[in-house]
A = this chain, B = another copy of it.
């Protein structure tokens, strides 16, 4: 893994984040620089950069920081093998929700257990349901109904 060692100034230039954000995120544990100088100055690795960039993209997509935090929490809970979700996973964002694509499955990064399923292409299913109904022997239901109308 290419490490790299980027100073704060470089990181702000590369990622578009402000220095304030970097230090706050560092303090609150969202993205902590992999190394530090003896003086306590941050040294971001290359993968740190990727995580930072991912977080910024999420922010730009109107996902709040707090939501990002919660997503990361649940992701590390649901996918324990994933060390750095922001780096390793393929995320998709829409207004409110962060989707995670992991293998075949896709699920909500927040709630985790949510399935995802296609709604259309139900014709076959409906046909099946039809055929599973033995009592549905009425071939001309309209006629029966029309008779009733005249009652």
Using a CB–CB distance below 8 Å, which chain A residues touch chain B? 5-7, 10, 13-15, 37-39, 41, 43, 46, 49-50, 53-54, 57-58, 61, 86-97, 99, 106-108, 110-111, 114-123, 125-126, 129-130, 133, 135-136, 138, 141-142, 145-146, 148-149
Contact = CB atoms under 8 A, between A and B. Distances in A.
10 contacts: A15-B126, A38-B146, A50-B126, A53-B126, A53-B129, A54-B122, A90-B118, A92-B106, A94-B107, A95-B114
Contacts of A57: 117, 119, 122
Contacts of A39: 145, 148-149
A94 B101 CA distance: 12
B120 A95 contact: no
Contacts of A126: 14-15, 46, 49-50, 53
Nearest to A129: B14
A22 B105 CA distance: 33
A108 B95 contact: yes
A99 to B, nearest CB: 6
B111 A95 contact: yes
Nearest to A118: B90
Given A94-B116, A120-B87, A13 B142 contact: no
A89 B43 contact: no
Given A57-B119, A88-B120, 4 more contacts: A7-B141, A7-B145, A14-B136, A92-B119
